[in-house]
Structure formats: C-alpha cells, structure tokens
Amino acid sequence: MALDASSSRNNRNSFAEALSAETAAGNESLSVWIGQVQARGALESLFELETWLKGIHSFFNLEHLQLTDAEKAGLVSRSFAPEIGIVRRAVQLCEKHACEVLDPRTGGNGEFEDFVEARMRQDRMMDYSISRMAGQLTPADSVAQLVESLNDLRVTIDSLKVQPGREFQLFLALGRSFSREIRNCRYVDMLMSQRFRLQHDSVDNNALTASLGRLPQGPVRHRIALVFLYLFRFLKYLKLVQADLNRDQPLKQHLIIFSLLHEETAGFLDFLKTRLLRDREVADSLQNAAELIAYSLKMESQRVHTHELVLVSREADPRIVYSKIENSHGLLRDCYQSCILTLAQSMDKSFDPAVLFPFRAGHLMASEKLRQDLWELRRWLMDVLANREELDSNRIIERVGEFRDVSLRSLMYRDWAEFETFSDSLAVSIDAMETRTHIRKFVSYLESLIQQVSKRRVFQEEPQNSWPELPVQG
C-alpha cells in the first residue's frame, strides 16, 4: 500500500506513541542498558529471560495452574513434585538467559556454578562497606544478583527431600521465595513490571499501520494500538513453544508459558472491557470486533487451561505431552491471529491477511469470514432481544435468510440441518414471547458454532517448521 512520507510517519507513530506511553515510567538507566544489550546481540535472551521469569511467577499462582476441579479440592494432599520439577527446569533456563544477557559468550546448555563463583569472588575483592553502597547501581548488577538467587533456588530444589504430602507447602514456599528474590533485584523487578518493551514490541507493518492511521488521532486509536500490541506479544510467547515443538525438545516446562498467557489474557480482557466495550466514543464496527475478540479469547483460554493442559504435568508418555502442547499452541495461535484480523478488518474491510500471515492467508480468511458472519448474526439477534432492533418476524426471517444464502455453505455439512431447524422454529413462531424464546436458543447455538469454527485446524497446508514473521522490530 503506497503511502507518502508524512502519512507513513504518522501511522508508525500510532504504535510508537502507545509504546512510549507504556514505558514512560521506566528508569532511564534501564532503557540505556537494554539498548546496550541489544547492541551486543543479546536482546532475544533478555526477552526470553523476562518471559520465563514472568511465567514462573504466574505458575506459582494457583489461579493460573492447570488443575482439574478435583485437584483444586484436594490441594493439600496432592503431590506437587511434577510442578516443582517444571519450576526447576524453568529456573535453569532463566540462569542460562541471564548469563547470556550479562555476557553472550557465557551462553550454552551447561551448568552455571563456575560463572556464579567467579562473580562472587570478584564481589568479595571489594571493600564490604563500599559493596553495600554500590549494590545494584546498574541493571547488570541486578541481573548478576538474579543469577545467584536463581542458582540458590535450583540448588535448594535439588537438595530437598520432601516427605509425601508436604509438596504443596513446599510449592507455596518456593513461590514466596521466588517473589522475594525478584523484588530484591531492583532493575529486574522494574523490567518485569513494564507491560511492553519498545525494543521487543514495535510493530512495523505498513498495511496494518495504515489501517490504524485511518482512525482519528486520540484515545481510541491509542487503545486500538494497545490491543494489537497485546495480541502480537501473545504470539511472541507462543514462538518460544513452537521452537521446542520443531526441535522435538522436552515440553513440560512450557506449561509455565501457558500459565503466563492465561494470566495476561485475563488482564487483557479487563482492558477490553473497561477501555473499549464501555466507551461510547468507540465506533460500532470496533465495538463489535472487540466483543468478538473478548468472547473468542475467553473461550479458547479456558479451553486450553481447563481441558487441554490439565494432567500434563504428571503425564509420563512423551507422545501425549507433545500432542497436548501442540494442540494448545495451535488453538491459541489461531485464536490470536484471528483476533488480529478481526480488528484489522473492522478498520479496513479490504485488509489482506497475507501481509501478516502469508502461509495461512487463504484458509485463515475463509474461517475468519465465517466467524465474523456468525458473530454479526448473533449480535443482531441480541439487539432484537434488547429492543435495540424491532421484533419483526419478517425481518428476522429475512436476516437469517441472508446468512443462509451467503455463509451457510461455509459451515460443516453436518451443521446445516440443525441450523435449518432453528431458523424454521423462528419462521413458525406464533407470538412475540415464543419468538424471543427461539431467538435465545438460536443465539446459544450460534455461540457454539463460533467455538467450533475457532477450533478448526484450518492451517494444515502450512509447512511443518515454518513460522510467519511477525511485524516486530528489534
């Protein structure tokens, strides 16, 4: 899409301004240090360190732990040995990435005791009073302290022999200790408190920024930019899962990434509710898109958290673990990409999915079109129930007929008969009360169809090891 220089600069500023506002409270020395990390080629290690630290924090929160209802009811007697082992593996990954951030030459898959001991010897050479005054003067000092704390935590886990039935108390104690150590690492705590990072999250896609630039300058455009930033950040988290799926590496530690996604999705849904769905200045098309995004994210997040991933922590068969992690990754990836397109096409109906997701554009477009058509029909019927649209049987039959003529063929053939049954019930309703009853049933049916469409694995033609490049700078 051709843009003149002024327009292009204005569009890019929509994302840049949103990121600047999110990071404005950050410490200047932290920003300078991140720039230095980027110059040394260790920015991706910093992102992975930040992600795993946030994920461990989420994993220690029982609300975001993948548990069945029965397990939640028997927490005290449940063995948490599998979860403690998962934390141990994630802590080791954090050590690896922290050392790479401090010095990329220390990277690798080995243990880090030698590095930590060398650092401690260096610290002991300083005068004690001076070292206390100079403690954590820089972000690098905080990361060095973090390495020691993580090493202590891992060694503690390795040396503990917990009596059966006491793992729950140990799990909680490890979580409290982890949180304290993070708070004690001043700049690491500051790093984790920022929602986005200019170096990680800047969106650089001309078509998307052009669509965003069509919105009037102001709070609404800023909030829509943040919605995109949330969704692209979620995809970036999933890229870490995809890397180990492709390499056929151990996968249980990624339950921690899914816990992080569950927690941040909840925060994102609150953002949508308070900043878009309740704002009367938001256009109807954007309101509709935000409602569909919120509904889709809530349903898919719950499906992954309460169905796909429960019991994975104690699963011994690696094939089952792989299948569960792969399915959860695919469900959330497809959901996030569909949400991005829903929002982009609400601003520009001609938006081409291929500019964002070239490997999946054709199938993704067809599935997304069906999902939006189902949602628009559902929303129209909800407006009828809320008296925002006239309860006119002829208009209802006409509106359902429009969907049948245009979109019904995109549904699975097995769904056609049930759809016709619901629409026929509306057609023969004899009074307003009966019509409203059938509309409520039809709305519930449409919601189930939306979920089914969201679960479709419509991207089978994608090459096994390919990942579409995200429009992210850095």
pLDDT tens for each residue of the chain, 474 residues long: 444 444 445 555 678 777 777 665 556 778 888 888 999 999 999 999 999 999 999 999 999 999 999 999 999 889 999 999 999 999 999 999 999 999 866 544 444 444 444 444 444 434 433 343 345 678 889 999 999 999 999 999 998 876 677 889 999 999 999 999 999 998 999 889 888 887 788 888 888 988 898 888 889 999 999 999 999 999 999 999 999 999 988 899 999 999 999 999 999 999 999 989 888 888 888 998 999 999 989 989 999 999 999 999 999 999 999 999 998 998 899 889 989 999 998 998 888 888 888 876 566 666 777 888 888 888 889 888 888 777 888 888 888 888 888 777 777 767 778 888 888 888 888 788 888 888 888 888 888 888 777 665 433 334 333 333 444 333
Provide the token pair at 297.
């994210």
Residues 300 and 454: beta-carbon distance below 8 Å: yes
Instruction: Show the DSSP H helices in 386-431 as ranges.
Output: 393-406, 413-427
pLDDT at 298: 93
Provide the token pair at 449.
């169809």
Crossing angle of helices 5-23 and 206-213, in 10° steps, is 90
Element (H, E) at 138: none
> Distance between CA 125 and CA 425 in Å, rounded?
84
Distances (CA, A) of 235 to 17, 109, 332, 395: 21, 25, 8, 41
Q: 95 CB contacts (<8 Å, ≥6 apart)?
A: 112, 147, 150, 151, 154
187 DSSP assignment: H
Q: Is 125 exposed, middle or buried (0-12, 13-18, 19+ CB in 10 A)?
A: exposed
Q: 202 CB contacts (<8 Å, ≥6 apart)?
A: 15, 16, 19, 472, 473, 474
User: Of 147, 151, 45, nearest to 100 (Cα)?
Assistant: 45
pLDDT at 365: 67
Provide the token pair at 132.
């206390």
**Chain-centroid distance, C-alpha 58:** 13
> Distance between CA 252 and CA 318 in Å, rounded?
9
Distances (CA, A) of 112 to 90, 119, 401: 14, 11, 66
Q: 318 CB contacts (<8 Å, ≥6 apart)?
A: none
Provide the token pair at 388.
């925002």
Q: Report how far apart the first and last C-alpha atoms of the chain are (Å, whole number).
A: 23
Provide the token pair at 102.
């401090």
Residues 399 and 377: beta-carbon distance below 8 Å: yes
Q: Please count the residues of the chain.
A: 474
User: Of 45, 39, 41, nearest to 96 (Cα)?
Assistant: 45
Residue whose structure tokens are 């554009």: 361
Residues 153 and 91: beta-carbon distance below 8 Å: yes
Q: 168 CB contacts (<8 Å, ≥6 apart)?
A: 75, 76, 77, 78, 80
66 DSSP assignment: -
**Three-state SS for 118?**
helix
pLDDT at 357: 84
Q: Any idea what the Cα angle at residue 334 is, between residues 282 and 14, rounded to 5°?
A: 40
Residue whose structure tokens are 């030698």: 114
pLDDT at 350: 86
